[in-house]
Amino acid sequence: MLYVGLMSGTSLDGIDAVLAEVSGKPPDVRAAVVHFLTVPYSSEQRARLRAMMEGAGAADLCRLNFDLGVWFAEATLRLLQEAGVEPRDIAAIGSHGQTVWHEPPGTRSGGTLQIGEAAVVAERVGRPVVSDFRARDVAAGGQGAPLVPLVDVWLFTHPTRRRAIQNIGGIANVTYLPAGEFAGSIVGFDTGPGIAVVDAVVELVTRGAQSFDRDGALGARGRVRDDVLQEFLADEYFSVTPPKSTGRERFGSAYARRLAERAGALGAGPEDCVATATALTARSIAKAYRDFLAPRGGPDECYVSGGGARNPTLVRMLQDALAPIPVRDLSALGVDPKAKEALAFAVHAHAHLHGIPGNAPEVTGAAGPRVLGKLTPA
Ligand SMILES: Nc1ncnc2c1ncn2[C@@H]1O[C@H](COP(=O)(O)OP(=O)(O)O)[C@@H](O)[C@H]1O
Ligand SMILES: [Mg+2]
């Protein structure tokens, strides 16, 4: 069956849309990317999304929810047109939406909100839409994140090799896959900052001229400030035992400003700030592997995906930090690393339609397995 997966992550770079063939039931779920595109946000669209996360009002939220639905529908129609596939040929669209607020259960009971009105997508594309995947897990006492680990188990478990499947979007998250037929409990969590802190530092030091470190060029020219790095690696998030998840609320632009200011005060130049932010992502991932994966055997190999995998400076730093564990691009496993997260939500739509639970309670902390998402009929 053909599905569409839609994703807009914390980086606010654009809408990722994937057309994928998904079939089977666990543990034999199969998924293959047929076509993929990213529709970048305009600076106006990005400013509206950002304003939302910084507490814009109800009227703005309402308007953006519907406008985003239109943008998701347009991305879907373009994807299908490029692929030469008619809407009627797809089973459903799995739409993650855009997280505007995410508050895992803690002192409060927790909440999460993804927008991009599914009714608008269903109306304009004419196919069923499964959306709002995180809410049910949070309602069951879970973190609502990450939701990709179970999909990773289905798609990437190897008979003899232990794998770390590492996505580096705005936030970075890992799934650890022990070798062989999957038994035992799944380990997956957000390791901490991904590329969003690097993006924000780049924006600060270039005074808005650049929104990300293209090809890792700035970071490659800078020198990592080890003193600042150690200070920021002491952040309590890194020592919290999983399950755990995080977001822009913690590792967002305020955090990036603190890092750039601290490094600047110690004499770091703009490129040193970018290099230090990049190293923080690499080193916090390596620390998470040492503290939480090594005691379970630890990975034989690591596969990276997400926009962070397109930053060669970050990938090189991660290779250094994880050596001798080889770090490879997820394309080595036949999946376009840019399409990975969107693909996971195409698989989640398939799971929903077949009544298959999509969360891993040991990962999210939910009271039990739950069928994720809400269905809006065609
Ligand atoms: N050519 C490139 N060089 C360096 N970084 C890149 C490149 N292309 C994309 N990126 C990075 O990838 C990020 C987007 O990654 P993505 O996986 O979409 O994150 P999210 O899921 O948070 O939206 C961009 O903000 C940018 O930092
Ligand atoms: Mg993105």
pLDDT (0 to 100) of residue 134: 98
Percentage of residues in the chain having pLDDT higher than 70: 99
Average pLDDT of the residues in 109-115: 93
Total residue length of the chain: 378
Residue 80: its H or E element: helix 58-83
Report residue 148's pLDDT band, with 50, 70 and 90 as the boundaries: very high
Give the span between the Cα atoms of 144 and 372, in whole angstroms. Answer: 10
Q: Which two tokens stand for residue 303?
A: 């596969």
Q: What's the whole-number mean pLDDT along residues 329-343?
A: 97
At residue 54, the pLDDT reads 79
Ligand 1 atom with the shortest distance to the CA of 8: 23
The average pLDDT across 112-122 equals 97
Whether 227 has a pLDDT exceeding 70, the answer reads: yes
98 and 120 together in one domain: yes
Q: What angle do CA 350, 195, 300 make, to 5 degrees?
A: 70
- Domain match, 136 and 40 both: yes
The mean pLDDT of the chain is 96
Q: Are residues 175 and 319 in the same domain?
A: yes
CB of 190 shorter than 6 A to ligand 1: no
Q: Are residues 289 and 348 in the same domain?
A: no
DSSP H or E segment with residue 188: strand 187-193
Q: 3-class SS at 6?
A: strand
Does the pLDDT value for residue 197 go beyond 90?
A: yes
The verdict on 247 and 125 lying in the same domain is no
Asked whether the predicted pLDDT for residue 116 surpasses 80, the reply is: yes
Domain tally, the chain: 2
Among 116-125, 129-138, 180-189, 314-323, the range scoring the smallest mean pLDDT is: 180-189
330 in any annotated domain: no
Q: Is residue 152 part of a domain?
A: no
Give the domain CATH number at 175. Answer: 3.30.420.40
Indicate if the pLDDT at residue 34 is higher than 80: yes
Same domain, 171 and 307: yes
At 271, list the tokens. Answer: 């490129």
Strands 374-376 and 129-131: antiparallel
Residue 245 has pLDDT above 90, yes or no: no
- For 370: left if phi > 0, alpha if psi spans -120 to 50, otherwise beta; the answer is beta
**In this predicted structure, what is the pLDDT of residue 106?**
81
| Mean pLDDT, residues 81-106 | 95
Question: Both 130 and 249 in a single domain?
Answer: no
pLDDT of 332 strictly over 90 = yes
For residue 105, the model assigns a pLDDT of 87
The answer to the question of residue 236 being in a domain is yes
Residue 358 CA to residue 134 CA, distance in Å, equals 10
Dihedral sign computed on CA atoms, order 151, 26, 331, 296? positive
Give residue 247's pLDDT: 86
Position in ligand 1 atom list of the atom nearest CA 10: 22
Side-chain-facing half-sphere of 268: CA atoms under 13 Å:
28
Containing structural domain, residue 78? 2-147+338-376
- Measured CA distances, 69 to 74, 118, 242, 263 (Å): 9, 6, 33, 40
Which pair of structure tokens corresponds to residue 335? Answer: 């999946």
- State yes or no: pLDDT of 181 exceeds 80: no
| Ligand (nearest to CA of 216) | 1
Q: How confident is the model at residue 182 (pLDDT cuts 50, 70, 90)?
A: low
Residues 223 and 321 in one domain: yes
**Between the CA of residue 88 and those of 38, 122, 126, what are the distances in Å?**
22, 12, 8
Distant-in-sequence, close-in-space partners of 325: CB < 8 Å, separation ≥ 6? 164, 289, 298, 299, 300, 301, 302
Please give the Cα distance from 74 to 42 (Å, whole number).
14
Q: Are residues 60 and 116 in the same domain?
A: yes
User: In terms of C-beta distances under 8 Å and separation of at least 24 residues, what long-range contacts does 21-30 make, across chains too?
Assistant: 22/346, 22/347, 22/349, 22/350, 23/350, 25/354, 25/356, 26/154, 26/356, 27/153, 27/154, 27/157, 27/181, 27/182, 29/151, 29/154, 29/155, 29/347, 29/350, 29/351, 30/155
Show the tokens assigned to 21: 């063939």
Question: Residue 153 domain-assigned?
Answer: no
Verify that 35 and 137 share a domain, yes or no: yes
Do 139 and 248 fall into the same domain?
no
Lowest mean pLDDT among 76-85, 176-185, 241-250, 328-337: 176-185
Do residue 170 and residue 195 come from a single domain?
A: yes
pLDDT of residue 183: 62
String of DSSP letters for 10-48: TT-SEEEEEEEEEE--TTS-EEEEEEEEEEEPPHHHHHH
The residue whose CA has the least distance to atom 10 of ligand 1 is 307
Q: pLDDT at position 103, please?
A: 86
Residue, of 311 and 50, whose pLDDT is higher: 311
In a domain, 208, yes or no: yes
Query: Is residue 258 assigned to a domain?
Result: yes
Give the pLDDT score at 53: 84
- pLDDT (average), residues 114-121: 98
- Amino acid found at 368: G
Q: Is the pLDDT of residue 7 over 80?
A: yes
Given a contact cutoff of 8 angstroms between Cβ atoms, the answer to whether 179 and 356 are in contact is: no
Q: Per-residue confidence at 346, pLDDT binned at 50, 70, 90? A: very high
Single out the residue of 102, 173, 166, 171 nearest to residue 134, CA to CA: 102
HSE of 7 in the Cβ direction (CA atoms, 13 Å)?
28
Q: Is the CB of 337 under 6 A from ligand 1?
A: no
Q: 10 Å Cβ neighbour count for 317?
A: 25
Q: How far is the CA of 180 from the centre of ligand 2 (A)?
A: 32
Between the CA of 297 and the centroid of ligand 2 the distance, in Å, is 32
Q: Name the residue of 98, 198, 311 whose CB sits within 8 Å of the most ligand 1 atoms, as the mutation to test its pocket.
A: 311
